[in-house]
A and B are shown apart, each in its own frame.
Chain A
Amino acid sequence: MKPEELRFVETHEWIAPDGTVGISDHAQHEITDVVFVELPKPGRVVKSGEAVAAVESVKAAFDIYAPVSGTIAAVNESVTKTPGLVNQSPYEAGWLFKVKADREEERNGLMTHETYQTFLKSETH
Chain B
Amino acid sequence: MPIETPPPLEPLIFELSVAGRRGLPWPKPDIAEAENESPLPAALRRRTPPEWPEVAEPQVVRHFTRLSQLNFSVDTHFYPLGSCTMKHNPKAADRVVLLPDFIGLHPLRPHTLSQGILEILHDTERWLCAICGMDAFTLQPSAGAQGELTGVLIARTYHESRGQNRPVVLIPDSAHGTNPASVAVAGLTAVTIASTPDGHVDVDVLKSKLGPDVALVMLTIPNTLGLFEPRLREIAKMVHDAGALLYMDGANLNALVGLLRPGDLGVDLLHINLHKTFSTPHGGGGPGAGPVGVKAFLSEFLPTPRVVKEDGVYRRRMDFPKSIGKIHGFMGNVGIVLRAYCYLRLLGEEGIRHVSENAILAANYLRVKLAPLFPKMPKKPCMHEVVVSGEGAFGPGVHTLDVAKRLLDEGFHAPTIYFPLIVPEALMIEPTETETKETLDLFCKTLESIVEESRTSPEKVTSAPHRTPIRRVDEVKAAREPDLRFKRIP
What sequence of 0s and 1s flags, for each residue 457-490 of chain B, a beta carbon within 8 Å of any chain A beta carbon? Answer: 0000000000000000001101110000000000
A17 to B306, CA, bound (A): 64
Q: Is A35 an interface residue (CB 8 A)?
A: yes
How far is A4 from B228 in the complex, measured between Cα atoms in Å? Answer: 51
| A84 within 8 Å of B (CB atoms) | yes
In the complex, which residues 81-110 of chain A have their Cβ closer than 8 Å to any Cβ of chain B?
Answer: 83-84
Classify the secondary structure of A's interface with B: loop
Q: Per-residue CB proximity of B248-259 to A under 8 Å, as 1/0?
A: 000000000000
Bound-state Cα–Cα, A33 to B478, Å: 12
How large, as a class, is the contact surface on chain B? Answer: under 10
Q: Which of A36, A58, A83, A84 is within 8 Å of B475, CB to CB?
A: A58
Those of B326-371 within 8 Å (CB) of chain A: none
Smallest CB gap from B481: residue in A: A35
C-alpha gap A84/B476 in the complex (Å): 10
CB B230 to nearest CB in A, in angstroms, measures 32
When distances are taken between beta carbons in the complex, the residues of chain B under 8 Å from A36 are: 479-480
Q: Is A38 an interface residue (CB 8 A)?
A: no
Answer whether residue A25 sits at the interface, using C-beta atoms and an 8 A cutoff: no
- Map CB proximity to B onto A20-33 as digits: 1 under 8 Å, 0 otherwise: 00000000000001
Chain A neighbourhood of B480, CB < 8 A: 33, 35-36, 83-84
A83: chain B residues at CB < 8 Å are 480
How far in angstroms is the closest Cβ of chain B from A78? 14
0/1 string, B172-194, CB within 8 A of A gives 1: 00000000000000000000000
Q: For the complex, give the distance between the alpha carbons of A33 and B475 in Å.
A: 10
Q: Which residues of B contact A84 (CB under 8 A)?
A: 480
Closest-by-CB residue of A relative to B479 is: A35
Q: How far is the CB of A60 from chain B (nearest CB, A)?
A: 11
Shortest A29–chain B CB gap in Å is 15
| Residues in chain B near residue A33, CB distance under 8 A | 476, 480
Smallest CB-CB separation from B478: which chain A residue? A58
Complex interface: chain B residues within 8 A of A35 (CB): 476, 479-480
Q: Which residue of B lies closest to A84 (CB)?
A: B480
A83→B481 CA distance, assembly (Å)? 10
Q: Kindly list chain A residues whose C-beta atoms are within 8 Å of the C-beta of B475.
A: 58
- CB-CB under 8 A from A58, the residues of chain B are 475-476, 478-479
A56–B478 Cα gap in the complex (Å)?
13
Per the 8 Å Cβ criterion, residues 38-52 of A in contact with B are none
Alpha-carbon separation in the docked complex, A58 to B477 (Å): 9
A56 and B475 CA atoms in complex are apart in Å by 13
CA distance A35 to B476 in the complex (A): 6
Contacts of A56 in B (CB 8 A): 479
User: Looking at B475, B478, B480, which has the most chain A CB atoms within 10 Å of its CB?
Assistant: B480
A38 vs chain B, min Cβ distance (A): 13
CB nearest to B418 among chain A residues: A59
Contact with B along A53-73 (1 / 0, CB 8 A): 000101000000000000000
CA distance A35 to B474 in the complex (A): 12
The minimal Cβ–Cβ distance linking A118 to chain B, given in whole angstroms, is: 25
Taking A33-B480, A35-B476, A58-B475 as known contacts, 11 extra A-B pairs with beta carbons closer than 8 A to each other, sorted by chain A number, are: A33-B476, A35-B479, A35-B480, A36-B479, A36-B480, A56-B479, A58-B476, A58-B478, A58-B479, A83-B480, A84-B480
The residues of A with any CB-CB pair to B shorter than 8 Å are 33, 35-36, 56, 58, 83-84
Question: Which 10 pairs between the two chains have the least Cβ-Cβ distance?
Answer: A35-B479, A33-B476, A58-B475, A35-B480, A58-B479, A58-B476, A35-B476, A83-B480, A36-B479, A36-B480
14 A-B pairs whose Cβ atoms sit less than 8 Å apart in the complex: A33-B476, A33-B480, A35-B476, A35-B479, A35-B480, A36-B479, A36-B480, A56-B479, A58-B475, A58-B476, A58-B478, A58-B479, A83-B480, A84-B480
